[in-house]
Amino acid sequence: MTARRTLRSAAAMMVVAASVLLLGATATPPPIPDDPSDPTRASEYWLDGARIREAWQTTRGKGVTIAVIDTGIGKVPEVFGDAVVGGTDVSGAGTPDGRTPLGAIDGNHGSWVASLAAGRGAADGTGMIGVAPEANLLSISVGFGAAAAVPFTEQVAKGMRWAVDNGADIINLSFTTNTLDWDESWDDAFLYAFEHDVVVVVAAGNRGSGTNIIGAPATIPGVLTVGGVDQTGTASVEASTQGITIGISAPSEGLIGVSADGKVEHWRGTSGAAPIVAGVAALIRSAHPDIKAIDVINRIIKTAIPVPDAVKPQDPLYGYGLVDAAAAISVNIPPVSANPMGDLAEWVRYFRRAESEPQPVPSMTPVAVPPLPAADAPSEAASPLLPSADSLRYGTLPLIALTVPGILVALGVTAAARRIRSARVSVRQIPDSEE
């Protein structure tokens, strides 16, 4: 058991003990202020659709910390008053506490995400409330595009490590890089989170924003990637995307969120589906203080509501199904020995193997080679009209040796032929009288 789980377990036991002393052995948490008739609260259809209100009868996320690595959580007292327990800026453009919204366009994004995960709601039960309204939040501000003085990959790697070192039980990443691959610096950063028993929840991305297929960090093995559905539980066309690493689906349309100035805004996208699941993960870790991160993920996907006609067991649109908070908390599920969403350490070992240590070079014994004989002295320059010694030796003399005997033979044959011809002529000229 890690130190973080030990502290969380101790805190949970203290809360239970106090409740037993005050209310008796059958004590349950007092009702959370919740007015379903309030227009804002009534618009949060996922509270009933994902059975979150039912899960509140057991826990509301107390003792669990969710790190939101985003554009910064605004200072809205009635929503985040006691929720944000720490923060930092890794962009080089924000304030040290990570609470200054970054980006002229996306500045409210971090506040929307945080309000869905752990917004407190008003004391009278009205206004927006998060999935885990008693969980703590860490605000880690990053800058997208021009809103950063530090490379984005470096921001994320630094933010991940800071979150782990400052007590995060769950890290929410509601962004995509629109590329399947990721910077190698993320290998160590995400492994650092997994090795410290932290659940990492990631948004799949949205077609409406130009993401036709999931990109990193949703492609990193071991993260819980969240796809989006509409109010009917159907995969969203614009406010979600698809990919084989999607593990679970949650609402991504008709969402609301609290902006940095305290206003309730309507929005959509898997950026909102991810913190809903992160809030469910906080409820699980609060209800089961000793549970491991891999078992939190396993509970979420194993208790998912099946989607008719979806590919089994893992659909590229829905993953394992629709998130069910009450079932994820209450169903008896045995622990697992490996992360069902993959093993990043094994992936790194296999795909980064080209960076392994070089093989040793075998030593060789030098061989002694005798020196070559001295070269012949160069001959003196002669007239190009006269034959050289080599031409005489290898050309003229052999030619004479072959030609002279041939000439002599030819002369001898010629002379013999002439004598024979002369003798025949003499015989023909002898008179008959002399015979």
Query: Active-site residue numbers?
Result: 70, 109, 271
Residue type present at position 148: A
> Going by C-beta distance under 8 Å and a sequence separation of 6 or more, which residues neighbour residue 372?
none
> Which pair of tokens denotes residue 146?
């021009």
Q: Which residue has the tokens 């409330």?
A: 129
Report helix, strand or coil for 87: strand
Report how far residue 324's alpha carbon sits from residue 316's, in angstroms, rounded to the nearest whole number. 19
Place of tokens 């609402």: 251
**171 φ/ψ angles, rounded to the nearest 5 degrees:** -120, 130
Output 95-99 pairs: Cβ under 8 A, ≥24 positions apart. 95/141, 97/139, 98/72, 98/73, 98/138, 98/139, 98/140, 98/141, 99/72, 99/73, 99/74, 99/75, 99/139, 99/141
**How, if at all, do strands 255-258 and 264-267 pair?**
antiparallel
- Longest alpha-carbon distance in the chain: 180
Query: For residue 182, what are the contacts with CB-CB under 8 A and spacing of at least 6?
Result: 153, 216, 217, 219, 220
Nearest to 306 by CA among 325, 319, 316: 319
